[in-house]
């Protein structure tokens, strides 16, 4: 029993002595030699530490494992087939940008009406005679038996005309004018020697025209003309004691001017103003003696015309 205790104590002493010795040996080996003083060359035979004599690097303990490599999570459950395996690629470039949406084409402007190119014009007009004057004188053997001088009431009429442009700025034409009812203002008898009465008449005038034109713009024409012509006047209720006047005939002169507007290639409108003098004479016969006498008529009219017609 005693021998067993001695043996155990001896083994314990050996085991305790061995670690201390190894630790001191390692500590002595880990401490390198002192470096030579700075600024002085090392003395000959200075023992530099051998290369690779530093302590070994720290190592992981045995059995340590690195974490597993990072991996993408499994496919999202919304897509049962998983993410597409092909790498993402941009869509192919357009060979050319698509053209922009075309703007609606503007409506073409309405072409302007063509200007008249012809030289002939046919038209008609309505006349208003707001002011007029008419006088007649019944002469028997160069003596005045009855005289009358008075204004006329408002009178209306119509006219038709044809015109032609032989050269630029000049036109010639013919107008036929009809006044269906001309009324004199009645005058009471003033003495036995003056037997004047109111009366009515109708008149037809044939008026050859010659005039000049000027175009300030292509569609507008200014004109002035003169029309010496022939007139036929039929009156009634004027003379006392003599047969009713039949038709007095004579010379008539009309001058005027106006504006003509070409609305299209053929249609035109116009406004004119005119002044007219009339000189008509007629032979009448006394109801009692049968002797002839001469009735002379003199007239002045101011007329306004509104015309329209065809240009070709």
Average pLDDT estimate for 222-251: 84
Q: Give the up-direction half-sphere exposure of residue 267: CA atoms within 13 A in the CB hemisphere.
A: 3
Q: Is the pTM of this model over 0.85?
A: no
258-300: pLDDT as tens digits: 999 999 989 999 999 999 999 999 888 777 777 888 888 899 9
Q: What is the span of the domain harbouring residue 138?
A: 120-311
146-182: pLDDT as tens digits: 777 788 889 999 999 999 999 999 999 999 999 999 8
* Residue 71 falls inside a structural domain: no
Mean pLDDT score across all residues of the chain: 77
Q: Which residue has the higher pLDDT, 276 or 3?
A: 276
Q: Which residue has the higher pLDDT, 150 or 302?
A: 302
Residue 21's pLDDT is what? 46
Q: Which residue has the higher pLDDT, 69 or 200?
A: 200
3-state secondary structure the chain: CHHHHHHHHHHHHHHHHHHHHHHHHHHHHHCCCCCCCCCCCCCCCCCCCCCCCCCCCCCCCCCCCCCCCCCCCCCCCCCCCCCCCCCCCCCCCCCCCCCCCCCCCCCCCCCCCCCCCCCEEEEEEEEEEEEEEEEEEEEECCEEEEEEEEEECCEEEEEEEEEEEEECCEEEEEEEEEEEEEEECCCCCCECCECCCCCEEEEEEEEEEEEEEEEEECCEEEEEEEEEEEEEEEEECCCCCECCCCEEEEEEEEEEEEEEEECCCCEEEEEEEEEEEEEEEEEEEECCCCCEEEEEEEEEEEEEEEEEEEEC
* Residue 288 falls inside a structural domain: yes
Strand partners, 133: 151, 300
* Residue 229 falls inside a structural domain: yes
Tokens of 242: 């003599």
Q: How far apart are CA 299 and CA 183, in angstroms?
A: 12
* Residue 47 falls inside a structural domain: no
High-pLDDT (> 90) share of the chain, %: 37
| Range in 3-7, 153-157, 183-187 with the lowest mean pLDDT | 3-7
Residue 191's pLDDT is what? 46
Query: pLDDT at residue 195 above 50?
Result: no
Query: pLDDT at residue 124 above 70?
Result: yes
- Banded pLDDT at 20 (limits 50, 70, 90): very low
* Residue 218 falls inside a structural domain: yes
Residue 256's pLDDT is what? 96
User: Residue 197 belongs to a domain with what CATH number?
Assistant: 2.40.160.20
Q: How far apart are CA 256 and CA 140, in angstroms?
A: 36
* Residue 6 falls inside a structural domain: no
Inter-CA distances, 182 with 8, 200, 244, 303, Å: 176, 5, 16, 13
| Range in 159-163, 176-180, 208-212, 242-246 with the lowest mean pLDDT | 242-246
Tokens of 165: 């442009």
* Residue 26 falls inside a structural domain: no
Residue 30's pLDDT is what? 47
Query: pLDDT at residue 52 above 60?
Result: no
60-105: pLDDT as tens digits: 555 555 566 555 566 555 555 555 555 666 766 666 666 677 778 8
Tokens 């032979």 identify what position? 283
**Number of folded domains that form the chain:** 1
Residue 45's pLDDT is what? 61
Q: Which residue has the higher pLDDT, 107 or 51?
A: 107
* Residue 82 falls inside a structural domain: no
């Amino acid at each position: 029993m005693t021998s067993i205790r001695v043996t155990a104590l001896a083994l314990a002493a050996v085991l305790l002595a061995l670690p201390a010795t190894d630790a001191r040996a390692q500590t002595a080996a880990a401490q390198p030699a002192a470096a030579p003083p700075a600024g002085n060359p090392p003395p000959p035979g200075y023992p530099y530490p051998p290369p690779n004599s530093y302590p070994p690097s720290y190592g992981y303990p045995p059995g340590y494992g690195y974490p597993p490599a990072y991996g993408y999570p499994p496919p999202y459950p919304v897509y049962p087939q998983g993410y597409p395996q092909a790498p993402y690629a941009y869509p192919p470039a357009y060979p050319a940008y698509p053209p922009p949406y075309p703007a609606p084409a503007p409506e073409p402007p309405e072409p302007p009406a063509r200007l008249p190119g012809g030289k002939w014009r046919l038209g008609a007009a309505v006349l208003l005679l707001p002011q007029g004057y008419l006088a007649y004188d019944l002469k028997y053997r160069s003596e005045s038996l009855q005289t009358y001088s008075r204004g006329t009431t408002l009178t209306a009429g119509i006219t038709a005309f044809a015109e032609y442009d032989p050269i630029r700025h000049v036109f010639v034409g013919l107008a036929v004018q009809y006044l269906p009812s001309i009324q004199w203002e009645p005058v009471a008898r003033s003495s036995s020697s003056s037997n004047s009465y109111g009366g009515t008449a109708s008149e037809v005038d044939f008026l050859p025209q010659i005039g000049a034109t000027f175009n300030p713009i292509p569609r507008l024409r200014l004109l002035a003309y003169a029309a010496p012509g022939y007139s036929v006047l039929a009156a009634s209720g004027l003379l006392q004691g003599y047969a009713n006047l039949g038709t007095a005939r004579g010379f008539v002169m009309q001058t005027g001017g106006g504006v003509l507007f070409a609305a299209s290639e053929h249609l035109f409108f116009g406004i004119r103003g005119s002044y007219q003098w009339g000189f008509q004479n007629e032979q009448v016969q006394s109801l009692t003696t049968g002797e002839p006498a001469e009735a002379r008529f003199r007239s002045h009219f101011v007329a306004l015309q509104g015309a329209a017609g065809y240009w070709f």
